[in-house]
Amino acid sequence: MPAELPLGKKLALAVATTVTFFVVVELALTVLGVKPVRQIRDPFVGFRPGVSLFARDGDDYVTDPRKLAFFNFQTFPVHKEKSSLRAFCIGGSTTYGRPYDSRTAYPAFLEAYLEEADPAIDWQIINAGGISYASYRLALLMEELRQYTPDLVIVYTGHNEFLEERSYSEVRDWSSSFSTAVGLASRSRLYSFMQAAREAIVSPPAPSVQMAREVTTILERDGPETYHRDLQLRERVLDHYRFSLERIVTMAEESGARVILVNPASNLKDFGPFKSESSVLSASTLERWNELFEEGRRELAEGNPDEALSALEQAESLDPHHAENLYLLGRALLEKGRPEEAYSYFVRAKDEDIAPLRALSEIEVIVSEVAAGHGIHLVDYPEILRLHNRSEHGQEILGSELFLDHLHPNIEAHAELAKALYEVVGDLGLSEGGPLPEEIEKRVASRAERLMGPADMGRALHNLAVTLGWAGKTSEALTASEGALELLPEDSEILATNGHLLAKLGREDEALELYLAAVKLNPENGVALARLGDHYGRVGRYEEARKFLQRAIDQTQVHWPAGFRSLLHVRLGRAYQQLGDPTAARQAFEQALGIEPSSEEARRRLAQMSASSH
């Protein structure tokens, strides 16, 4: 009778057998062409099939007109020549070039630098930046872009992760270890095979979160008031961000492209938090905190940084998580000539913002770790701008010298990113490389300046006003909008935006005048018509609301965001309800759901109407 193996050897043999089994199965499934789940779909969040970004037009691919509400118009040849090098720059509104457009965004600067320095190559630097696009939507976009034989993919993402409603209904209940396990399983072909086999027998379960076809931000719908401190949600969003970034990189590399990741930068010094919340404090502590906070804010406004600092530091000792208090502490320290301490408070204020519309510090860590894990180039944009700021402006903390709002770089800052990317493209061996010649930099900068006339600046200020408006910074938005109106006084769209901002500040009579002027200038301006109809609905003039909302719907364009088009039908339905026409109201709500099936208000109102009819 053979001697029984010791328990340790039994366990080692069992582990070795199990590992060998899974390795053999993975290799077999690789040969059979089975792909891991992470290459097929996102297990955290689902998307309905949407419109591809690019459509074929003869011998070229062009941006589909239905995507122009979120993307610049771009074009590139279907057939890539040997002399061509094709790069896709993917990201959010920074990559897009807001508040301007693609002409002054870093992809345009990069292409101009490369064309000047290495004209033998047909450089195709394609701007695939989508306004408000977060990493999970960029991963879906990357599934399309890898079909177009990219040589290079540049990824700048991280600011938009908290823009859309994601309840993670099931995912919120996952432990951190279970989230990690899902991420690891999504790499396995066996897991993918088992999922496919299961779905062949039974209908696949609904995704944990079903997202709309296009971006509908919380800010557009409800404003920053909807945000509240939720550390569990924050952790899940960061898990999802890491997963999406890994997925983007993996798909890009498997398509044969080189990848560059960019750490996102933002305005720390000259833009306060969007929303602050006090910690859970006793009534007496909260009362004392409020006294100190108000004292500090008042003293700082009156130019007394010493007194402000004393009060704000005492407030911080009572509540170290209040974003606005941390920001004011940074301002006070900066006025006292203590920039290093100020910087740490500005970073904390950004990270404690209840409406985190700038990339959190954890985002920067994740980008760095993913780059290191894949052995790919990382461009540390905040560090590049800090060095530039110190050289050109005498201090390192990023602020209005290089940013137009909370996160959108000015043209100078876009050029700085392009210069850094130019050097990395050379390091990758895709161009001749070396430092960017100064004469090329000056020539390209001069060309960019000539592109932007007064009308372009007016449009840029208008875009800035829109961004600030939906971010809840209404007064700042109105200032930008009034600047746009000075440059373009007869622009119907700017008049409508100005009116909308005045209405948000409670100045309804002034808003009405601007809406009427906007519609008079352009009777086909759907946004102005919608604003006017919404105004009449708010003041109880429902017949006028119905008339102008219907005219707005008649003028809506196919490329307008689905969320906005759906909302018009919801508002029309509300007007019909007030006018006592339930049949027309039901039809309007059903049309709203047809455009955007995730419209909660349309679904709720239809349910209420059905309940009341029984």
pLDDT in tens, 500-529: 999 999 999 999 999 999 999 999 999 999
Give the whole-number percent of the chain exceeding pLDDT 70.
Answer: 82
Which of 303-307's residues contact partners 24+ apart within 8 Å by CB, and which partners?
Answer: 305/332, 305/335, 305/336, 306/336
Contacts of 342 (CB under 8 A, 6+ apart): 269, 329, 330, 331, 333, 334, 397
Whether pLDDT at 413 is above 80: yes
**pLDDT of the residue at 261:** 98
Task: Indicate the residue type of 593.
Answer: L
Q: Mean of the pLDDT values across residues 103-113?
A: 96
pLDDT digits (tens, 9 = 90+) for 389-408: 999 888 899 999 999 999 99
- The mean pLDDT value for 573-585 works out to 94
Q: How many CB atoms lie within 10 A of CB 446?
A: 9
User: How far apart are alpha carbons 166 and 579 in whole angstroms?
Assistant: 35
Helix (H, G, I), strand (E, B) or coil at 457: helix
75: left (phi over 0), alpha (psi -120 to 50) or beta: beta
Report if pTM > 0.85: no
| Res 215: pLDDT | 54
